[in-house]
Amino acid sequence: MFEIHNYIGFITAILLFQLVPGPGTVAILNATARSGRLAGMGAVLGTLAGDLVYMVAAVSGLAALLTASPVLFSVVRLAGIAYLCRFGWTLLRSATTSNVQETCSVPSVRRSFHQAFVVGLTNPKVIIFFMSFFPLFMTSSTSSVTLVIMMAHVSLLCLVYQTLLVFVGDQLAKRLTGMEKVRRCTTRLAGAALIVFGIKLALESD
């Protein structure tokens, strides 16, 4: 279908990858818990934008450039790790200094988008992943149009899954209203998780 080799396998693989939690998941759930659904959707769009950058980079050959230039790869990678850890530290600090849930506003939605977008760019290895993933479902006759369709599939399925995360996270946040200690704990866990992701990336071999 759509000239995608093993279409069912392609869809299944995307869904399975989504079920593995990553920094983007943490950013989405944190934004939702702190500022509501609109901020959560802002984080979703930020995450999707980050993934789109990497997908476009992968199909346009940037992956080959980063692979051929270890120095450039390391600089991009370290910058992403630094931001990830900084974001996590910010959450840890906010859990001890803020007792009031943020009111959702345009600035908070924009901030959630920006944070999730940058978090989505924290691991340049995602470019290599997409560079390796797409060929599994391509043939020698695959056209550029098919590649666009494949990217659209990834973005659409991610949008559906992450939107569900927002609604589930919002319901959980509402149930935690008034339970300040629990909210602080979940915020600390989110911050710690982002720092752990950053450390994990830093320790991984290139």
Asked if the structure places residue 2 within a domain, the reply is no
| 93 domain-assigned | yes
Tens digit of pLDDT for each residue in 72-127?
A: 767 767 777 787 788 788 878 876 655 444 455 566 788 899 989 988 887 766 77
C-alpha–C-alpha distance, residues 116 and 43, integer Å: 5
| 165 alpha carbon, distance to own chain's centre | 12
Per-residue model confidence (pLDDT) at position 183: 64
**Amino acid found at 77:** R
Write the pLDDT tens digit of every residue in 128-144.
Answer: 778 778 877 877 677 77
Q: Do the Cβ atoms of 128 and 57 come closer than 8 Å?
A: no
Asked if residue 194 lies in contact with residue 23, where contact means CB atoms within 8 angstroms, the answer is: yes
Sequential DSSP letters for 73-99: HHHHHHHHHHHHHHHHHHHHHHHHH--
CA distance 65 to 48: 23
The 10s digit of each residue's pLDDT in 45-68 is: 999 999 899 888 887 876 676 667
Provide the residue range defining the domain that includes 158. 7-203
Cα 129 to Cα 145: distance, rounded to the nearest angstrom: 20
Residue 40 domain-assigned (yes or no): yes
- In this structure, is residue 156 part of a structural domain? yes
How many structural domains does the chain have?
1
39-48, 57-66, 188-197: segment of lowest average pLDDT: 57-66
Domain presence at residue 1: no
CA distances from 104 to 9, 70, 93, 109, 164 (A): 39, 42, 20, 7, 19
Domain contains 159: yes
In a domain, 100, yes or no: yes
The residue with greater pLDDT, 187 or 55, is: 55
What does the angle CA 52 – CA 55 – CA 58 come to, to the nearest 5 degrees?
150
